[in-house]
Amino acid sequence: MTDDGERGAPGKGLVQGLAVTLKTMTKPSTTQQYPDVEPELPPRSRGVIALLEENCTVCMLCARECPDWCIYIDSHKEEVVVPGAARARQRNVLDRFDIDFSLCMYCGICIEVCPFDALHWTPEFEYAETDVLDLLHDKNRLGEWMRTVPPPPAHDVLGEPSKEEATAARKAAGPGAATAAKADVRRATPTTADRPPREARSKPEPPEQPQ
């Protein structure tokens, strides 16, 4: 009625508006009822960082790479006397491993750089505190998060075989069968089986070792 009628019949826009709201009403709403219903988080969600203490060698890589220096590590050396060994071994014992989640920006660099898989992402996110100091999680608390670490995602069927797989297959095939073993592994993965090996296209195969 108030439409100028420039775009088609007068009042067309008014009717279209009514149709949009009516259609929206009949569609289910996307609201997540979070405290009542747990959210469905995407895989590899970054909730909190868990520490597997046994794997940590106190190499300090994580603490050094942390962009905002929120990882605090203290350790001491311990002598381990192995019976029958020529001399006592030394190993690092972790005294303190704290992550300050009030500083952490969840970049995940510490987890990326850890050479021994001592740090893991877990999707748990409900650890808000009323005191900011309580966001400093010590190694016990970080260790408790290990229970919530999800299993690693399945291997991408289109991806390269993992290094471990390739090495194991090569070893099983015996010395000098490196290239054949690689091809075996690739044939074992179903979807890449009938495609030419990627390396064959990108770079020439190394010449066969003389038997």
Partner 1 sequence: MMPLWLDLTIRVVAVVVGFLTLPLIVGQAEHKVMAHMQGRLGPMYAGGYHGWAQLVADGVKFVQKEDIAPRDADRRVFRLAPLVALFPYLLVLLAIPLGPNGLVAQPLDVGLFFVLAVLGVGVLAVLMSAWASANKYSLLGGLRGAAQLLGYELPLVLAAASVAMAAGTLSLPGIVEAWKPWWLLWQAPAAMIFFIAGLAEIRRPPFDMPIADSELVFGYMTEYTGLRFAFFLLAEYVGIVVIAALTTVLFLGGWHGPAADHLGWLWTLVKVFAVSFVIIWFRVTYPRLREDQLQRLCWLILVPLALAQLVLTAAVKIAM
Q: Which helix (H) or strand (E) holds 109?
A: helix 109-113
Which residue of 18, 41, 60, 88 would you call a contact of partner 1, by CB under 8 A?
18
Least distance to partner 1, CB of residue 10, Å: 11
Tell me the C-alpha distance between 194 and 91, whole Å: 49
Single out the residue of 31, 90, 130, 211 in contact with partner 1 (rule: CB under 8 A).
31
Choose between 1 and 133: whose C-beta lies nearer to partner 1. 1
Of residues 21 and 90, the one with the C-beta less far from partner 1: 21
Closest to partner 1 by CB, 16 vs 55, is 16
> Cβ-count burial of 189 within 10 angstroms (0-12 exposed, 13-18 middle, 19+ buried)?
middle
Q: Which residue has the tokens 């010449």?
A: 207
Nearer to partner 1, 10 or 174 (CB): 10
d(CA 141, CA 71): 14
- Asked whether position 10 contacts partner 1 by CB under 8 A, the answer is no
Q: Binding to partner 1 by residue 21, rule CB under 8 A?
A: yes
By the rule CB under 8 A, 1 interacts with partner 1: yes
Q: Please state the closest distance from residue 40 (CB atom) to partner 1, in A.
A: 17
Residue list, annotated binding site for [4Fe-4S] cluster: 56, 59, 62, 66, 104, 107, 110, 114
Report in angstroms the alpha-carbon separations of 104 from 121, 132, 162, 196.
Answer: 13, 12, 31, 45
Nearer to partner 1 among residue 26 and residue 90 (C-beta): 26
Under the criterion CB under 8 A, does residue 22 sit at the interface with partner 1? yes
* Shortest reach from residue 36's CB to partner 1, in Å: 8
Secondary structure class of 155 (helix, strand, coil) = coil
CB within 8 A of 120, min separation 6: which ones?
A: 49, 50, 52, 111, 146, 149
Rounded to 10°, the helix 163-173/178-188 angle is 120
Chain contacts with partner 1 (rule: CB under 8 A): 1-2, 14, 17-18, 20-22, 24-25, 27, 29-31, 33
